[in-house]
Structure 1
């Protein structure tokens, strides 16, 4: 299963690679990274249909925000599941994300136990 992680902070890639090391090594999970909303859309458009089945995106990014990305992806690729993350657990972002079709909403620091459960539910 291919997952796209979208975050403008590049150190997130190293963190995800560490936390999902076993899953990547066993090839049950493939991680792809984008550092902007536009880069994420470019990755999705490389194959038709996209090979990505799940997107985990930060909300607060320069340029296209995660919420704008969410709305765009839901319109273009309604079958792709998306969860959002924010450093701020404010109800405004939460409500907008869930109402726009986000599967889940996480706050930083990421609870990787909950995220792994979320992903495991997609695999089964």
Structure 2
């Protein structure tokens, strides 16, 4: 079974950054990454994939239109099986509290600690195996 991670961010350079950080994993087929430029696009993609191949959603909080925090309860209602980690430049206690209350399993602050994120992805891959 091929598994993938959905990354939601309106910044165009995020896709290049993630592809560069995980290039070996992506090249080897260990997992795939899909990118959505907005919360509505991410909700549509999560709804399209009804099988368990979606193992993790990583979402920016601050996006135009629907924010990541507004998307969070909707994606959790649609896909309660898929863990969501929020990403923000502002990792204050209030933002963390809101993210956890709305269903996130964690919050990463920018700049992203890719070693920590890799550990989280490894955990999800083990659970999916």
Gaps in structure 2 of 5+ consecutive residues: none
Give the TM-score taking structure 1 as reference length. Answer: 0.95
For residues 28-67 of structure 1, what are the structure 2 equivalents within 5 Å? 28-49=30-51, 51-67=53-69
Cα distance in structure 2, aligned partners of 1:48 and 1:79:
10
Partner-residue secondary structure (3-state), 2:99: helix
**2:59–2:85: 8 Å Cα contact kept in structure 1?**
yes
Give the TM-score taking structure 2 as reference length. Answer: 0.91
Cα distance in structure 2, aligned partners of 1:67 and 1:99:
10
Question: What is the root-mean-square deviation in Å for CA atoms of aligned residues?
Answer: 1.1
For residues 67-106 of structure 1, what are the structure 2 equivalents within 5 Å? 67-106=69-108
Match of 1:7 among 2, 6, 9: 9
Gaps in structure 1 of 5+ consecutive residues: none
How many residue pairs get aligned? The number is: 124
